[in-house]
Amino acid sequence: MVGAMNDEPITAATIATEIRSALEAADLSTYASLLAPDVTWGAPGDPEPACRNRGQVLAWYSRGRDAGTTARVTEVTVLDDDKILVGLMVKRDGEYAERWQILTVGQVGVADIRGFEDRPSATAFARV
């Protein structure tokens, strides 16, 4: 977990495996430990993202889980020192959809999450 990482600087590479494990297990406690307190989550370019702190992000995941939504991690790729690409196969109401996220890592954990419907859009966003 981020807080347990000695004095090693937090980078995308240092937490990518933990992100995969937490998402695959739907382990919100571990996922919470990887998020900065003021993490934001929203659509790309949205200046007013829907989630603006750790509690709101976790509440969103909890609502989805309680509604029966599940996700299988299909990819976790470190793109830079501070960016992680996460691919998910999401099942909601019996329908499957591929979803992608770019997680930007700050000094105390994941500082920003942006959601995408396809991998090319996600990787293009991460490269800007």
| Domains present along the chain, CATH in parentheses | 2-127 (3.10.450.50)
Strand partners, 101: 86, 115
- Digitized pLDDT (tens) for each residue of the chain, 128 residues in all: 554 445 678 899 999 999 999 999 989 999 999 999 999 999 999 999 999 999 999 999 999 999 999 999 999 999 988 999 999 999 999 999 999 999 999 999 999 999 999 999 999 999 98
User: Residues with Cβ < 8 Å from 86, sequence gap 6 or more?
Assistant: 19, 20, 23, 73, 75, 76, 100, 101, 102, 103
Q: For position 3, what pLDDT does the model report? A: 44
User: Residues with Cβ < 8 Å from 91, sequence gap 6 or more?
Assistant: 69, 70, 71, 72
